[in-house]
Chain A
Amino acid sequence: MNEASLVGLCAATVSFGALLYLAALGEMVSEKAGILNLGVEGMMAMGAVTGFMTALEFGNPWLALAVAVAVGALTALLHGWFTVVLGAEQVVSGLSLTILGLGLAAYLGKNAVGRPPGAVLAPVEWPVLSDIRWLGPVLFQQSPMVYLSVLAGVVVWFVLSRTRTGLALRAAGESASTADAAGHSVVGLRLTAVAVGGGLAGASGAYLTLSVIPQWAEGITAGRGWIAVALVIFGAWKPGRVALGALLFGGTLALKTRLQTFGVDFSPILLSMLPYLLTIGVLVVISIRARNRPSPAPASLGIAYRREER
């Protein structure tokens, strides 16, 4: 193992971590408002394909990102419409959204398969910082999406824990009837949270096809949306812990392709089970602890709210 390959591993960890973080952060916002959205994989695929195709058409990566965010949010609002407005089962609607998103993305992107990207979200060069040994390549030669994901994390943390809107949103997820009684629109809050979640999943998808793997292929999301769902639990619905989890899980993705380079005789396939097994472990720990202290999960998560039935 030499210095270059270790730096490469760390840089890839940060890059994959940011990819997972964006989607997980979005899912966290949605869940904080009480809506479980298992459509992350589908929304990510929709963002990935529409971002890539916009870049092909217009050659502008920022326009592509904006389109991916908008498409992700709209896709999520389908889930929002069914679960928040019509009160449908969140699990069923979310999984259907994954199936629909993956199918629609494959259908839309048929002619984009194998084409070189029209534009990429190229790494940012920072004055002085980028040239620092070790730290420069790992932290300061990354795609702008890495810095945007950090910004998104700070904004989400601030809004959720330091503003009235955030308080209302969390109330909608903890006790919808209380939020309603306090004069907040539960429907409005939940729809907003779901849309924000979809936008972030769309951004994650665009980061994938415009930077991490700059191409489009059916199934390119490869289960990363499920890792994002796992991350929210792993990070106990807290933006900071989810970020740490994202780096850990991102590390397993980065290490997967590099095990052989490091001469480690361990199956990369078995390594890729780790995020899911760790998450199951965390779930068990949360449940055992829940006997003595409250679970970190939003109390109304997954429960539809109808005013007449409170």
Chain B
Amino acid sequence: MSRPVLVRREEVLRGGQPLSFAIGLVVALTIGIVLLLGAGHDPVAIYERMFVAALGDPDSWSVTLNRAVPLGLAGLAVAIAGSMGLWNIGAEGQILAGAMMAAGVARIGEGWPGPVLVTAILVGGVVGGSLWALGPAVARSQIGVNEILTTLMLNEVALRLVQWLIHGPWKDPDSFNFPLAPMIPDHGRLPTLFGRAHVGVIVALVVIVLFAVAVNRTAWGFELRVAGSSGATARYAGISLERKTATVLVMAGGVAGLAGGIELAGTADRLTEGVSNGFGYAGIIVAALALMRPSGVAAVAVLFGAVQIGGQSIQTMGVSSSVSTILQALILFGAIGAGVLSRYRVRMVPGDPGGDGIQVGASA
């Protein structure tokens, strides 16, 4: 009798993460085929439709890129905090807060010229998201309140605040009593680049590149990573953890808030409950797949954007768009599983299988 044992590799496999990612994608698509067959659909036709709708021509690329914007910025908001070993689970709420503030700016600035209004809306988004992260940031840095739980709770609070605004104070008087906020003025919308792609795509890319450089190539980023790997080392090196923790969380909130501003002025055109349609949570998966590295979030975000846009397109074929939700989660689970194999190898050792099945971490 022999049993499988996971043994830690001396060196992590090179190129392991892109490989894990690819394996995750294959695993997800395979399980997707089983689900689609189970419901009597034709998986090939459905995947083909998803691919064409998301990446088939420049027009579909423009929609996919637009969707990649909030996913990438939310992923960045998680990854910036993650570089320091902090968990920002609050991107969803920060996006909503950014959208609320941006919508408020759009209400005030109706008479402003286009470029001023658009800029003000985006800045409003950043401010709104930062403010939403300020509470958890201060609580964490000053009295050590766990940021996972505070940022998570504030997501639900932000959602209800949006609901309250559009049911109450900001309800459009011309909406026939439907809970709808008024449209933002036309000249406040983001200019388009090609197809339906708006300038938010460029803004997001610039922000992602800036943060990737800041985290990887500057002294500030180095301190951040040192603090993330060992608080004691950071303190010894004279890095103020309290201050850094607070700044990083507020910055992360600002980045997510920017996504809220972009969504408001780029695609939603009015404040709605769905202005962040789970982007904040999907962003956590995006960041995890990018191993919390700001440099990796853009590529993952485009792929997730494609999966989401593809998922919307199959509704006309009578298939639930939840297929794309399922695929996104499965990509992550598949990639985690594959990632383990880049850090461990499976070795068969003689012996009784025993009660534990696969044993993790048994020494070689």
Contact = CB atoms under 8 A, between A and B. Distances in A.
A308 B360 CA distance: 9
Interface string B306-336: 0000000000000010111110111011001
Contacts of B278: 99
A233 B149 contact: yes
A269 B163 contact: yes
A82 to B, nearest CB: 6
Given A273-B161, A308-B8, A107 B323 contact: yes
Contact of B150 (A106, A110, A187, A283): A283
B96 to A, nearest CB: 13
B160 interface: yes
B356 A187 contact: yes
A38 B152 contact: yes
A89 B340 CA distance: 12
Contact of A306 (B149, B325, B361): B361
Nearest to A106: B322
Contacts of A223: 156, 159
B318 to A, nearest CB: 9
A4 to B, nearest CB: 28
Residue among A188, A218, A287 having the largest count of chain B Cβ atoms under 10 Å: A287
A172 to B, nearest CB: 14
A286 B282 CA distance: 30
Contacts of B153: 226, 230, 276-277, 279-280
B1 interface: no
B163 A89 contact: no
A154 B87 CA distance: 34
Interface in A273-290: 273, 276-277, 279-280, 283-284, 286-288, 290
A95 B284 contact: yes
A261 interface: no
Given A269-B163, A273-B161, A284-B145, A104 B322 contact: yes
B42 to A, nearest CB: 16
B336 A107 contact: no
B323 A269 contact: no
B89 interface: yes
A99 B168 contact: no
A100 interface: yes
A149 to B, nearest CB: 23
A287 B322 contact: no
B332 A92 contact: yes
A279 B149 contact: yes
B285 to A, nearest CB: 6
Interface in B258-289: 278, 281-282, 284-285, 288
Which bucket holds chain B's interface residue count? 35 or more
Residue among B35, B150, B152 having the largest count of chain A Cβ atoms under 10 Å: B152
B288 A92 contact: yes
A306 B360 contact: yes
Given A98-B281, A284-B139, A284-B143, A107 B337 contact: no
Contact of B336 (A82, A104, A187, A308): A82
Contacts of B361: 87, 306-309
A99 B325 CA distance: 7
A267 interface: yes
Given A82-B337, A273-B160, A107 B356 contact: no
Contact of A89 (B157, B288, B356): B288
B87 A96 contact: no
A76 B97 CA distance: 32
Contacts of A267: 164, 167-168
B121 interface: no
Nearest to B36: A107
Residue among B168, B285, B340, B360 having the largest count of chain A Cβ atoms under 10 Å: B360
Contact of B284 (A92, A270, A276): A92
A247 interface: no
B31 to A, nearest CB: 10
B79 interface: no
Nearest to A98: B281
Given A95-B281, A99-B328, A279-B153, A107 B146 contact: no
Interface in B15-31: none
A290 B336 contact: no
B344 to A, nearest CB: 9
A78 interface: yes
19 contacts: A89-B288, A92-B284, A92-B332, A92-B336, A96-B285, A96-B332, A103-B325, A223-B159, A226-B152, A226-B153, A233-B149, A267-B164, A269-B168, A272-B160, A273-B156, A279-B149, A283-B146, A284-B145, A307-B361
Closest 7 A-B residue pairs measured CB to CB? A103-B325, A100-B329, A106-B322, A103-B326, A306-B361, A276-B153, A92-B288
Given A100-B333, A106-B320, 7 more contacts: A82-B333, A88-B340, A93-B336, A100-B326, A223-B159, A273-B156, A279-B153
